[in-house]
């Protein structure tokens, strides 16, 4: 069952590293550090604790963050990049 927006374990914001491929003509990743809400945009429950994810991209090892939301909703990098660019939710 999804967590309600009244859940008390959520932090206000999370600062995470994500792979941004949106502006690369050849799909190369740039690691960006962004700040997003500490709650799931779909149900308002807390987002999971970020942990490092190492991956190989065009000859270089990069590190981004992953997290598993307890509610089960998945955050895609493009969605959280857009969320960070929009600014805080009201």
- In a domain? residue 53: yes
- In a domain? residue 1: no
Q: For the whole model, what pTM was predicted?
A: 0.81
- In a domain? residue 32: yes
Q: What is the pLDDT of residue 1?
A: 33
Q: pLDDT (tens digit, 0 to 9) for every residue of the chain, 90 residues total?
A: 333 445 556 789 999 999 999 988 888 899 999 999 999 999 999 999 999 999 999 899 999 999 999 999 999 999 999 999 998 765
Residues 6 or more apart in contact with residue 1 via CB below 8 angstroms: none
- In a domain? residue 45: yes
Q: What is the pLDDT of residue 24?
A: 85
CB 33, CB 17: distance < 8 Å: yes
Q: What is the pLDDT of residue 7?
A: 54
Number of domains in the chain: 1
- In a domain? residue 21: yes
- In a domain? residue 40: yes
Domain around 40? 13-86
CB 16, CB 32: distance < 8 Å: no
Q: Using the structure block, give the residue that is written with the tokens 């969605």.
A: 79
Q: What is the pLDDT of residue 2?
A: 38
- In a domain? residue 8: no
């Amino acid at each position: 069952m999804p967590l309600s927006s009244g859940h008390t374990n959520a932090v206000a914001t999370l600062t995470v590293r994500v792979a941004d491929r949106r502006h690369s003509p050849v799909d190369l990743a740039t690691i960006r550090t962004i700040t997003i809400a500490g709650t799931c945009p779909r149900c308002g429950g807390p987002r999971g604790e970020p942990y490092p994810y190492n991956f190989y991209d065009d000859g270089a090892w990069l590190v981004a963050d992953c997290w598993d939301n307890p509610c089960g909703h998945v955050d895609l990098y493009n969605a959280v990049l857009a969320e960070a660019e929009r600014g805080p939710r009201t």
